[in-house]
Amino acid sequence: MKTVQDYIRTIPDFPREGIMFRDVTTLFADPRGFRMAIDQLLHPYAGQPIDRVVGLEARGFILGGAIAHQLSVGFVPIRKKGKLPAKCIEQAYTLEYGEAIVEIHDDALQPGERVLMVDDLLATGGTAEAGIKLIERLGAQVVGCAFIIDLPELGGRAKLEGLGMDVHALCSYEGH
């Protein structure tokens, strides 16, 4: 029986030498693999009240839309700076070589809403931490952070758990 990890392609030396890129497009392209991933991402949160699903740009949009549909709740994107058309709040975060900014519409979530945040990959946790901060600044509560892939050596899970977050990943890869 196949696992989610069996559907993920590894591309060596992308985007630069020494990096093993974990490509989830092969998972998304396979109907059984994609369905398996969505079902497994949802499983720990079954029965919990969730008001919105938030997806991190860009592959988190693909997952988040499917999960929101399954839960019959709305979907909210967190995007790179300058991509959303209405009034936004922003959050800077650190990259390996510099800084980036993500945004959310300032009216996307209401105080007290319970949010499941999703993305394809958890590495250092910088983008996810920025997303959590945006969600919390709007007064909503993050009930969980769900990822397909965890790269534990890079410390993202520990960072998010240190913030008190429930972190769920379908598979992990040692090395990166």
Report if residue 18 sits inside a domain: no
Both tokens of residue 12? Answer: 């060596």
Report if residue 33 sits inside a domain: no
Helices (H), 43-140: 59-71, 126-137
Dist. CA 87–CA 97, nearest whole Å: 28
Report if residue 86 sits inside a domain: yes
Closest C-alpha to 41, from 2, 79, 4, 74: 4
Report if residue 25 sits inside a domain: no
Query: How many percent of the chain have pLDDT more than 70?
Result: 99
Report if residue 30 sits inside a domain: no
Report if residue 63 sits inside a domain: yes
pLDDT for the residue numbered 149: 98
Residue 175: is its pLDDT beyond 80? no
Bridge partners, 88 (sequence order): 105
pTM: 0.96
CATH number, position 52:
3.40.50.2020
Dist. CA 120–CA 59, nearest whole Å: 6
Both tokens of residue 98? Answer: 């510099």
pLDDT for the residue numbered 159: 97
pLDDT in tens, 136-170: 999 999 999 999 999 999 999 999 999 999 999 99
Helix (H) or strand (E) holding 157: helix 156-162
Dist. CA 170–CA 176, nearest whole Å: 16
Domain that holds residue 139: 40-172
pLDDT for the residue numbered 129: 98
Residues 157 and 169 sit within 8 Å (Cβ to Cβ): yes
pLDDT for the residue numbered 98: 82
Report if residue 34 sits inside a domain: no
Report if residue 16 sits inside a domain: no
Residues 176 and 147 sit within 8 Å (Cβ to Cβ): no
CA-to-CA separations, 113 to 18, 50, 73, 97, 116, in angstroms, rounded = 41, 8, 11, 34, 10
Confidence of residue 176 (pLDDT cuts 50, 70, 90): low
Residues 173 and 20 sit within 8 Å (Cβ to Cβ): yes
pLDDT for the residue numbered 67: 98
Residue 174: is its pLDDT beyond 90? no
pLDDT in tens, 89-129: 999 999 877 899 999 999 999 999 999 999 999 999 999 99
pLDDT for the residue numbered 93: 96
Dist. CA 120–CA 141, nearest whole Å: 21
Domain count, the chain: 1
Residues carrying an active site annotation: 59, 96
Q: Could you give phi then psi for residue 139, rounded to 5 degrees?
A: 90, 5
